[in-house]
Structure 1
Amino acid sequence: MKMGWRELIRMKQRFTLMAIVTTLIVLLILMISGLADGLAYDNGAVVRNLPVEHVALSQDAEGQLTRSFLEQTDQPAGTEALGVQSMVLEKQNGTKDDVTVFASPVDTVYGPKELATLKPGQVLVDTQYAKQSGTAVGDTITDFRTKATFEIVGTVSDGRYSHAPVLWTTLETWKAWQDKMKTNYVSAFISQDPIKTDLATYTQQQIVEQVPGYAAEQNSFQMMRIALVLIGSLILTAFFYILTMQKMKQLGILKAIGIRTRTIGQGLVLQVFLLTTVSFAISLLLIWTIGQLLPGDLPFRFEWTTSFGYGGLIVLTAMLGGLIPLRALKKLEPADAMGGMTG
């Protein structure tokens, strides 16, 4: 152990360069993870923020809120109706945006409490969308298909659905809007408690995972993260393998004077552990700082659990890779290492 520590101190430049490369690798992995977590949260944030655990949809909806069409007369006891539908919103300046409308009763238990103050035809818009689009309280918006108009009377911070801004309104306004499309349905029945019904039931997390595009997006990011971990591990393994091979003559001398292979190996493993751990700590500090500085509209989310998970994985794989040169060290004959000296 002492030999490994002393070598780290005496060969500062070499190990500092390796630490920088390791830090950049880990930083890239954490950046990708932060972006993946941010997009995952953004994709179904409005559902995550609903204080419910159970959702009932029609049998053929496949877990997607916008594919579920239910009669409100079939509402199970102890549940609350929820309407969800996409809308092409036409603003006063003529521009169009894709949004998702969420509707709950005026006396909602789970939706925004601001719904209690809404009158027919009034809506609440996502705070982030209001800032980005220049939409303000008092503006009038129009559904492009039905030409139904709505007045914006406030904002909510309940997030987005399928990366689209969310409009919240009451079921009364929802019904009037549906009448213009000659339909009359709600999308889901939600509850904090298990729902007794013949409808298809899902947990909140299952509904989030069925948001359009969620699975494909996350699977792509997961492949990228795994690839980066493997590439990073291979790079670190190559670093320490080459470094060990370059020191074979010195290591042979150590074996010749009676130092055991196990002792030398412990020093090498200590170097790998310290280098990767310090690099991970620096990367963690950098990624946390970056997360604080990034604008709020960028889908980046720093998660301690995810960061420690991938950081621990890169440390573990690097240490396993660092064991590979020990096989060559074990077979090393001192005389061969010192230039073919014989007794």
Structure 2
Amino acid sequence: MFLAWNEIIKNKLRFTLIIGVLMLVAYLVFFLSGLANGLASLNREAVDKWDADAIVLTEESDQSLTQSSLSIDAVDEIQADETAVLGQLNAIAQTGDLKAGVSIFGINSDEFIMPEVIEGEEFTDANEVIAGDALKDEGFKLGDTLSLSSTKETLKIVGFTDQARFNAAPVLYTTLETLQLVKFGETAENDSQISAIVVRTEDISATTDENGLATIETETFIESLPGYTEQSLTLNFMIYFLFVISSVIVAIFLYVLTVQKISMFGVMKAQGIPSGYLARSVIAQTAILAAIGVAVGLGLTLFTGAFLPSAVPVAFDIPTMLIYGVVLIAVAILGAVFSVLTIVKIDPLKAIGG
């Protein structure tokens, strides 16, 4: 450690460049991690908010909420600790010059998927909705009257709730009666059709044995959302490739530095300093450089995140970022192995020209 630190202090510029490269790689990894979490949240916030174990859909829906339609009477056949009925409809909501794609959830206010209102009040009358706060960020406000692309009905925002986006669209919560009116018009049979039944239960397999219905675990349902899995895999593969790139970069830098110092290492070995000591010095030096680079990259990422606009879907998960930081340090040390092998093979007499 003494030798490693002294060399870093003596050659500040050289090692600052290495730290800078590691910092940029770490910054990119951390930012991609935040982007992956943020984009995932866009799809699953409303589902996570249910804190449910499973969701019951029709078998022919192919695990798609928008394609599922079942009778509300099916809830009587469900075996679970708690159940909540859910109707769903996608639409374009507009008020004045503001327009946004939304997902309308029809629910019962006395069931567990009813959201907590953070501003305004709960819906009590027909055509009233609680809106996700993402709409508030876009300029929508309490009291706005929303016209919808699929109906002549209008909705009024009476409250806002947080963490309410489904498949990247802000959610509007309303009564089942209102959803039926929006979806089918005045001819709709009141509360006759729903999209799903959300359940909390310890035994998911025993939820239903009714033909035509399928019970899907919440995480499986989320993974089946359009584009969710593909998006997550793409970003995660980019992060994993950055780990490999980081290892290669460190290996190249340290190998070049080691080759430049072959004569010095030869003299040291001729003086009786064992190869193990020199190898540990290189490993320690790599660990120091990587730790500094990762720490600076982490700080820079969090600093950048503080100034990003709300439209950028970034959500930093500190435990995950710390794990990635440790992995970056580990792969950097792994990249130093090539330099260690070079040191072990140095012949003192040849190195000093003997």
CA distance in 1: counterparts of 2:323 and 2:49, whole angstroms = 25
Matches within 5 A, 1:178-189: 178-180=183-185, 184-189=192-197
5+ residue gaps in structure 2?
Answer: none
Q: 2:83 maps to which residue?
A: 79
Q: 2:60 maps to which residue?
A: 60
CA distance in 2: counterparts of 1:72 and 1:239, whole angstroms = 66
What amino acid sits opposite 1:108 in the alignment?
A: E
CA distance in 1: counterparts of 2:20 and 2:163, whole angstroms = 40
What amino acid sits opposite 2:2 in the alignment?
A: K
Equivalent in 181, 197, 202 of residue 208 of structure 2: 197
CA distance in 2: counterparts of 1:91 and 1:65, whole angstroms = 27
Q: 1:174 maps to which residue?
A: 179
5+ residue gaps in structure 1?
Answer: none
**Secondary structure of 1:151's partner?**
strand
What amino acid sits opposite 1:163 in the alignment?
A: A
What amino acid sits opposite 2:276 in the alignment?
A: R
- Alpha-carbon distance, 1:128 to partner: 2.2
- Alpha-carbon distance, 1:182 to partner: 5.5
Q: 1:107 maps to which residue?
A: 110
CA distance in 1: counterparts of 2:89 and 2:43, whole angstroms = 15
Normalised by the length of structure 1, the TM-score is: 0.92
CA distance in 2: counterparts of 1:50 and 1:332, whole angstroms = 63
Are the structure 2 counterparts of residues 97 and 5 from structure 1 closer, same or farther at C-alpha, using a change threshold of 3 Å? closer
1:231 aligns with 2:239: no
Contact 2:42 2:167 in 1 (8 A): yes
> Percent same amino acid among aligned pairs?
30
CA distance in 1: counterparts of 2:216 and 2:105, whole angstroms = 18
- Alpha-carbon distance, 1:206 to partner: 2.1
Equivalent in 108, 126, 134 of residue 128 of structure 1: 134
1:296 aligns with 2:296: no
- Alpha-carbon distance, 1:136 to partner: 2.3
Contact 2:90 2:101 in 1 (8 A): yes
CA distance in 1: counterparts of 2:180 and 2:168, whole angstroms = 25
- Alpha-carbon distance, 1:272 to partner: 0.5
Describe the superposition over 1:26-68 as per-residue Cα deviations: whole angstroms up to 9, x where unpaired: 1111111111111111221111112222211111223322222
CA distance in 1: counterparts of 2:311 and 2:99, whole angstroms = 19
CA distance in 1: counterparts of 2:156 and 2:340, whole angstroms = 71
**Secondary structure of 1:154's partner?**
strand
- Alpha-carbon distance, 1:311 to partner: 1.3
Q: 1:267 maps to which residue?
A: 281
Matches within 5 A, 1:270-289: 270-289=284-303
Q: 2:256 maps to which residue?
A: 242
Q: 2:147 maps to which residue?
A: 142
CA distance in 1: counterparts of 2:297 and 2:96, whole angstroms = 46
What amino acid sits opposite 2:181 in the alignment?
A: A
Normalised by the length of structure 2, the TM-score is: 0.89
Describe the superposition over 1:291-340 as per-residue Cα deviations: whole angstroms up to 9, x where unpaired: 2332333211111122122212211111111011222222211111112x
Contact 2:122 2:158 in 1 (8 A): no
- Alpha-carbon distance, 1:116 to partner: 5.1
Contact 2:122 2:130 in 1 (8 A): no
CA distance in 2: counterparts of 1:153 and 1:214, whole angstroms = 31
**Secondary structure of 2:249's partner?**
helix
**Secondary structure of 1:299's partner?**
coil
1:158 aligns with 2:163: yes
What amino acid sits opposite 1:193 in the alignment?
A: T
Contact 1:118 1:169 in 2 (8 A): no
Residues 9-18 or 317-326, more deviating: 9-18
Number of equivalent positions: 338
What amino acid sits opposite 1:188 in the alignment?
A: A
**Secondary structure of 1:287's partner?**
helix
**Secondary structure of 2:306's partner?**
helix
**Secondary structure of 1:82's partner?**
strand
1:257 aligns with 2:265: no
CA distance in 2: counterparts of 1:307 and 1:61, whole angstroms = 37
CA distance in 1: counterparts of 2:287 and 2:141, whole angstroms = 54
CA distance in 1: counterparts of 2:94 and 2:310, whole angstroms = 25
- Computed over aligned residues only, the root mean square deviation of the Cα atoms, in angstroms, reads 2.0
- Alpha-carbon distance, 1:159 to partner: 2.2
